[in-house]
Amino acid sequence: MQKNIVLVEGAGFCFGVKRAIDIAFDVARKHKDGVFTLGPIIHNPQVVERLKDLGVYPVDEILQNTIKTLIIRAHGIPKEKFNELKKLGCEIIDATCPFVKKAQNLAEKLASEGYQVLIIGDREHPEVKGIFSYAGEKAIVINHADNKLKEAKKIPIFNKKIGIIQQTTQPMSKVKEIMNKIINSLNEFEEIRIFNTLCNFTSRRLEATEKVAKEVDVMIVVGGKNSANTTQLANLCKKIGVKTYHIEDAQEIDKKWVNSAKKIGVTAGASTPQWIIDEVIDKIKKFTN
């Protein structure tokens, strides 16, 4: 029986990730040694391994005598860390996603103008840690999973102005829900400024994935297990009720997942390269023919 495989439109690399990867591979071609990234360049182990093969290694500790060129990852880094790196004397190449950079700049601007900064996102995510550092010590991160908004209740009453920004990969539906609760529960404030710092690539991918997930028997979600936006896609599909499998590469696919399915959906996170998506589709075709 012929199977119908549906690839979600826009699956795979987003603009910011593609830019960071292009920068990293370009640097790898020009420099033969002493090239490092501060943390993984993106949340995809296969891409990180390919860069290692070309002599670009992720590091958490900065050893000055070994580093000639340091690439800042797509998620960005805290402001104090960036200032610290500038003192090392090595070449620094900033591959921070422009959407993330926008959020950092807005956080810094709001803080300098006396606003209490609220960041909607995952406080443990490297992107949010970076944005937080630009927003000042009084900034508050509101976790999208915290429906009671306990963090928001910590806002000092004397501060009458708040500014709201978001982690770039947060789903729009969650952001709207949280912002509505903030506005309703904080009506004693004189001014609330809201900036849209969401990545439109991420929003479109979520919408396209939701549409496909409602029409298929099985969803295969491709991307790093440590990728927040890939996990977000998998959770969305599971919430819809379709059988969902989150994998990093084609080797993980079990024939039983797709054998009885008439229609199979495939989506991928922003850190998933096209060659991995192609391998996954080829493997599904092999199993279903």
Active-site residue numbers? 127
Rounded Cα gap, residues 58 and 146, in angstroms: 33
The reported pLDDT for the residue numbered 145 is 47
The reported pLDDT for the residue numbered 245 is 97
The reported pLDDT for the residue numbered 60 is 83
The reported pLDDT for the residue numbered 89 is 82
The reported pLDDT for the residue numbered 156 is 54
Mean pLDDT across the stretch 109-132?
A: 93
Residue 195, classified by CB atoms within 10 Å of its CB into exposed (0-12), middle (13-18) or buried (19+), is middle
| β-pair type (56-59, 35-38) | parallel
**Contact between 8 and 266 (Cβ < 8 Å):** yes
- Type and span of the H or E element at 36: strand 35-38
Question: 105-119, 121-135, 157-171, 178-192: which range is least confident on average?
Answer: 178-192
H-helix segments, 113-168: 126-135
Residues 252-288: tens digit of each pLDDT: 999 999 988 999 999 999 999 999 999 999 999 998 8
Neighbours of 131 (CB within 10 A): 32
Cα 41 to chain centroid distance, Å, stands at 12
The reported pLDDT for the residue numbered 51 is 93
Mean pLDDT across the stretch 192-214?
A: 92
* Average pLDDT score over the chain: 88
Question: 8-17, 26-35, 151-160, 187-196: which range is least confident on average?
Answer: 151-160
Task: Give yes or no for residue 126 having a pLDDT over 70.
Answer: yes
Terminus-to-terminus CA distance in the chain, angstroms? 7
Question: 20-24, 94-98, 170-174: which range is least confident on average?
Answer: 170-174
The reported pLDDT for the residue numbered 95 is 95
Residue 190, classified by CB atoms within 10 Å of its CB into exposed (0-12), middle (13-18) or buried (19+), is exposed
Confidence of residue 152 (pLDDT cuts 50, 70, 90): low
* Partners of 194 in beta bridges: 164
The reported pLDDT for the residue numbered 90 is 86
Task: Give yes or no for residue 207 having a pLDDT over 70.
Answer: yes
Task: Give yes or no for residue 1 having a pLDDT over 60.
Answer: no
Closest CA to 8 of 242, 288, 256: 242
- 286: number of CA atoms within 13 Å, CB side? 11
274: which 2 tokens?
């096209």
**Contact between 79 and 135 (Cβ < 8 Å):** no
Residues 154-183: tens digit of each pLDDT: 555 456 788 999 999 888 888 888 888 777
Task: Give yes or no for residue 153 having a pLDDT over 60.
Answer: no
